[in-house]
Chain A
Amino acid sequence: EAGVAQSPRYKIIEKRQSVAFWCNPISGHATLYWYQQILGQGPKLLIQFQNNGVVDDSQLPKDRFSAERLKGVDSTLKIQPAKLEDSAVYLCASSLVPNTEAFFGQGTRLTVV
């Protein structure tokens, strides 16, 4: 069974630029999560999808972050414009049932300079 795929693995951008991350969950997993993990901290949920609908985006900075999962499969997370404090690892995960056993991708390390 293929795991959660994420790209790119690394990205370096200047502040005020835009960036996008892509995630393809495990086949058949209806729930998709985007987490932000700042160095030395635990993952913080940014947004959670159930199929192509948003079920939780309470911690997503909506003035600069956006995410979509148009066909209920893969998803894109965008930051525009980026700030220095957005430097983090962005983790995508998926699960068969919401808020249960989640499987993670390798993450994208974003550095904003």
Chain B
Amino acid sequence: AQTVTQSQPEMSVQEAETVTLSCTYDTSESNYYLFWYKQPPSRQMILVIRQEAYKQQNATENRFSVNFQKAAKSFSLKISDSQLGDTAMYFCALGGAQKLVFGQGTRLTINP
């Protein structure tokens, strides 16, 4: 079975700071994908970043980057120069041959 665990229910940082959200996962598959989604209060889920398991290089999208540790089954999201608009729920997700499963989420608040 595929599982995703996010151990930080809530986080809060000041605007312009850097914040890291943690995610661990478990899967028996060798070929899979990892994602971070953002869900603002408007509730539409938006893809932030994706990582293919076969790629060793960590994915980067502007201020968002990941630290993918395959052996440790860890996939953390780093947000640099955080902005007020980054306030949202963040979900880690794992996709593969079985299904696309989500973690319980981390509520991130960026304070002015």
Enumerate chain A interface residues (CB-CB to B < 8 A).
Answer: 33, 35, 40-45, 48, 56, 89, 91, 93, 95, 99-107, 109
Contacts and interface: CB of A to CB of B under 8 A. Distances in A.
Contacts of B97: 99
B24 to A, nearest CB: 14
A91 B44 CA distance: 9
B45 A99 contact: no
Contact of B45 (A93, A95, A100): A93
Interface of B: 4, 6, 33, 35, 37, 42-47, 50, 91, 95-105
Given A42-B6, A42-B105, A99-B97, 16 more contacts: A33-B100, A42-B91, A43-B91, A43-B102, A45-B100, A45-B101, A48-B99, A56-B99, A91-B45, A100-B95, A101-B50, A102-B95, A102-B100, A105-B44, A106-B43, A107-B44
A102 B6 CA distance: 20
Contact of A42 (B33, B47, B104): B104
Query: Main SS of the interface on chain A?
Result: strand
Contacts of A89: 43
Q: Which of A35, A56, A91, A100 has the most chain B CB within a 10 Å cutoff?
A: A100
A56 B100 CA distance: 11
